[in-house]
Amino acid sequence: MRITVFTPAYNRGYIIEKLYRSLQNQTFRNFEWLIIDDGSTDETAEIAAAKAAQDARIHLIRQENAGVSSARNTGIAAASGELLCFIDSDDTVSANYLETLHTLYSPGVLPVIDVVRSDRNGSALSPMPETFMLDGDWVDSYFCGQLRYGIAFSVWNKLFSLQTLRREHIAFLPELSIGEDMLFVFQYLHHCRSIRFSKDASYYYTIVPGSAMLSSRDYTQPYEQTFGVMSEKGRFPLPITDRTLSRWAFDASIIIVANPFIIDRSYTEFKKWWREFCQTVLYRSAVASEKPTGYKRKVLHFALHSENTLAIYVLFRLLRFGKKK
C-alpha cells in the first residue's frame, strides 16, 4: 500500500532540507511527499519546487495563508496514497520510519511510533502497552489518562487510512488553534479496533527556538473555543462525559495560568486577569472536577478553588511550570 507523506509548511525554507534528506533515506520507497505551502513569504515554495523537479514522488501545492488545519485538509483532499502520515516541516524521521508504520498497519488499527523531543530525554510512550484495545471506556483515558500524552496531542507519528478519513468526513477544524490534532485523532479512533505502538523512537520532534506555543499570548479564548466544541451534544459518535470535560478543563486551566505570558505579569495585572478568567465556562468546569491524585496536582486543584488571588499568584510563580515546557 502506498503512503502519502504530508507536510504543511509556512516560512520553513531554512529547515525543510533536513526533512527532505531524511525522507530520501527511507527504506520504504512506495510513498509520495505532498508539501502544502501555506502562503510562505520566504523561499519555502521555491525550495520545494526544486525538490519536486528532481523527484517525481514530491508534489507541491501552494495556497493563500489559511493556517495549518486548512493546509492539512488540503493535503487530505489531494493525497493519492491509500495511507497517510503527517510530518511537520521542522521535524525529521529515521530511515526505517515509514517501513515501521507500514508494518504495524492493518485495517482498524492506528499505528503509533515513539517520539524523541529535542527539548527532553526519554520515551513519550514508555507507559504504553504494545497494543491498546478500544473495546471499553477509552474516551476518558484519551483526554485525561493513559492515552493522553502518547496519542492525543499530535497527528504526526501515526498512520491513517485515507479511505476512512474521506468516507467518514474526518477533517481538521480550521476555527481551532488549540486541540485540533486531539479532536482529529479522536474522531478517527471511533473507527478503529485498537492502537498498536512501536517503542522504536524514530520520529524526531524539534522545538524551534522562539516557537514555544504557549509563551506568546493569552490562550484562554482558544482553550475556551476547543472546550465549547468538545461540549457540543451529539458532535461526536462517542459522548464526552461531564467528568471527562471537567478533568480536561482542569488541565487546560493549569496550562493557561502557568503560561509565562500570564504568570510573569505584575501582581496587579494578574489580579485583573484572574477575575476575568474566573468568569469563563472553562474555569467553572475546572473547579467542578474531582480532586486529582498526586500531591502537586492536589495543590493546584486547591489553588484553583481558592479565593486568595495572591496565594495563587505566588504558588504558580514558584512552580514555574511554563518555564519547564
Q: What is the mean pLDDT of residues 193-198?
A: 93
More confident position, 289 or 158: 158
**Kind plus residue range of the DSSP H or E element containing 310:** helix 309-319
- Cell numbers describing residue 43: 523561499
- Other residues' Cβ atoms within 10 Å of the Cβ of residue 60: 20
pLDDT at residue 127 in the model: 63
Cβ neighbours around 205 below 10 Å, total: 18
Q: What is residue 165's predicted lDDT score, i.e. its pLDDT?
A: 97
pLDDT of residue 322: 43
Beta bridge partners of 84: 4, 160
Which residue, of 205, 225, 244, is where some domain finishes? 205
User: Would you place residue 220 in the very low, low, confident or very high pLDDT band (cuts 50, 70, 90)?
Assistant: very high
pLDDT at residue 240, rounded to an integer? 92
Q: Which of the two residues, 151 and 174, has the higher pLDDT score?
A: 174
Q: Are residues 148 and 29 in the same domain?
A: yes
Average pLDDT, the chain: 89
Least confident of 74-83, 143-152, 228-237: 143-152
Predicted pLDDT at 118: 59
Handedness of CA 266, 282, 146, 5 (dihedral sign): negative
Residues 6+ apart with CB under 8 A from 163: 82
Buried b (16+ CB within 10 A) or exposed e, 4-15: bbbbbbbbbbeb
Please state which of the ranges 118-122, 212-216, 262-266 shows the lowest mean pLDDT: 212-216
The pLDDT of residue 214 is above 60: no
Tally Cβ neighbours within 10 Å of residue 52: 15
- 46-95 confidence digits (pLDDT tens): 999 999 999 999 999 999 999 999 999 999 999 999 999 999 999 999 99
pLDDT-wise least confident of 83-97, 101-115, 117-131, 194-208 = 117-131
Q: Which residues pair with 156 in a beta bridge?
A: 86
Among residues 186, 205, 224, which one ends one of the domains? 205
Does residue 228 share a domain with residue 89?
no
Domain edge (last residue) among 161, 184, 205: 205
| Count of structural domains, the chain | 2
Position 324 confidence tier, pLDDT thresholds 50, 70, 90: very low
User: Is the predicted pLDDT of residue 321 greater than 80, yes or no?
Assistant: no
Helix (H, G, I), strand (E, B) or coil at 71: helix
Domain with 78 in it: what CATH number?
A: 3.90.550.10
Domain carrying residue 100: 3-205
Which pLDDT score is estimated for 114? 84
Both 65 and 97 in one domain: the answer is yes
How far, in Å, CA of 245 to CA of 166, rounded? 28
Same domain, 264 and 246: yes
List the helix and strand counts (H, then E) for the chain: 15, 9
Q: What is the pLDDT of residue 121?
A: 57
Mean pLDDT for the stretch of residues 257-280: 91
**Whether residues 276 and 167 fall in one domain:** no
Confidence of residue 19 (pLDDT cuts 50, 70, 90): very high
Q: Are residue 132 and residue 183 in the same domain, yes or no?
A: yes
155 and 16 within one domain: yes
* Residue among 90, 72, 193, 61 nearest 136 (CA): 193
In terms of domains, do 110 and 184 share one? yes
Q: Are residues 7 and 118 in the same domain?
A: yes
| 121 and 184 co-located in one domain | yes
Both 185 and 266 in one domain: the answer is no
Residues 177, 254: one domain? Answer: no
Q: Which residue has the cell 502557568?
A: 258
Give me the pLDDT at residue 209, please. Answer: 55
How would residue 15 be classed by pLDDT, with cut points 50, 70 and 90? Answer: very high
Query: What would the pLDDT profile of 115-138 be if each residue is shown by its tens digit?
Result: 877 555 555 555 677 888 998 789
- Average pLDDT score over residue span 255-261: 87
pLDDT for res 159: 97
CB within 8 Å of 108: residues ≥ 6 apart: 191, 192, 193, 194
Per-residue pLDDT, averaged over 153-171, amounts to 94
Determine what percent of the chain is predicted with pLDDT higher than 90: 65
